[in-house]
């Protein structure tokens, strides 16, 4: 029974991931995510549903379009697997509950936002603005955060990154924090409340070693743009699922708890 549930949730997750792939490919190109149906981006051949089964089809077709043999990017099965895995992970953490609905919905926004940011260095309003509204709406039913906390989260999440952007622009004489990052901070705040500040601080600490390594191997130089969205998303994930654990460890470390 337990394994049947895991299997079912994973399966549903991979199907959601398959839809996220459509969003990741089409939203930055301003294409509709519902019409036309799935097709190969090179030969335009419609993809029949039996060639569109998450993960399995990629393996069976050897990662190529069945007609023109165009390579299908590895990110497709990766996003499908990751979505399935994260749905199971969230279910294991929260059980079937409002919290499961709340945080799996957050993840379904964070995944395409991260992959699109890596791809295009853009964080799209078409994801963050509906995400913000959904986050506010879910807080009405949540046992974890109240509507007030959700609103405060929007203000401090967006406000903090906006202020960082102002200071960065003054220090470096160029835009250092995009408007997309600010809206992403606000969106995550709507889901997790004032804890979003912890996530945003953590995002800078996660980004620092990556920037240092990037400069070390000369892939980045001073003034290079790196997508910051994935770091914000990863930090939000850590705060939601490991926040209490990390807080407990921290309190023991500084001697406030035995």
* Interface ranges with Zn ion (CB under 5 A): 40, 42-43, 65, 67-68, 70
Report, in Å, the least distance between residue 72 CB and Zn ion: 9
Report, in Å, the least distance between residue 68 CB and Zn ion: 3
The radius of gyration computed from the CA coordinates of the chain, to the nearest angstrom, equals 20
Report, in Å, the least distance between residue 67 CB and Zn ion: 5
Q: Which of residues 36 and 216 has its CB atom nearest to Zn ion in the complex?
A: 36
Report, in Å, the least distance between residue 62 CB and Zn ion: 13
Report, in Å, the least distance between residue 231 CB and Zn ion: 34
Q: Which of residues 7 and 46 has its CB atom nearest to Zn ion in the complex?
A: 46
Q: Which of residues 68 and 98 has its CB atom nearest to Zn ion in the complex?
A: 68
């Amino acid at each position: 029974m337990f394994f049947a549930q895991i299997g079912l949730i994973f399966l549903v997750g991979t199907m959601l991931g398959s839809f996220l792939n459509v969003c990741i490919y089409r939203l930055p190109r301003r294409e509709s995510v519902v019409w036309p149906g799935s097709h190969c981006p090179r030969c335009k051949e419609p993809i029949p549903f039996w060639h569109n089964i998450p993960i399995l089809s990629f393996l069976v077709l050897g990662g190529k379009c069945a007609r023109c043999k165009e390579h299908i990017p590895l990110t497709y099965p990766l996003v499908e697997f990751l979505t399935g895995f994260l749905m199971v992970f969230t279910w294991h953490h929260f059980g079937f509950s409002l919290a499961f609905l709340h945080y799996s919905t957050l993840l379904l926004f964070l995944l395409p936002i991260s992959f699109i940011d890596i791809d295009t260095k853009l964080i799209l309003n078409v994801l963050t603005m509906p995400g913000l509204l959904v986050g506010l709406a879910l807080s009405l039913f949540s046992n974890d955060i109240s509507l007030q906390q959700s609103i405060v989260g929007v203000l401090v999440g967006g406000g903090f990154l906006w202020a960082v952007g102002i200071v960065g622009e003054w220090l470096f004489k160029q835009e250092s924090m995009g408007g997309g990052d600010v809206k992403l901070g606000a969106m995550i705040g709507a889901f997790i409340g004032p804890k979003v500040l912890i996530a945003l601080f953590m995002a800078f600490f996660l980004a620092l070693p990556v920037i240092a390594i990037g400069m070390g191997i000369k892939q980045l130089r001073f003034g290079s743009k790196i997508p910051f969205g994935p770091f914000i998303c990863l930090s939000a994930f850590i705060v939601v699922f490991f926040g209490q654990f990390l807080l407990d460890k921290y309190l023991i470390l500084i001697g406030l708890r035995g």
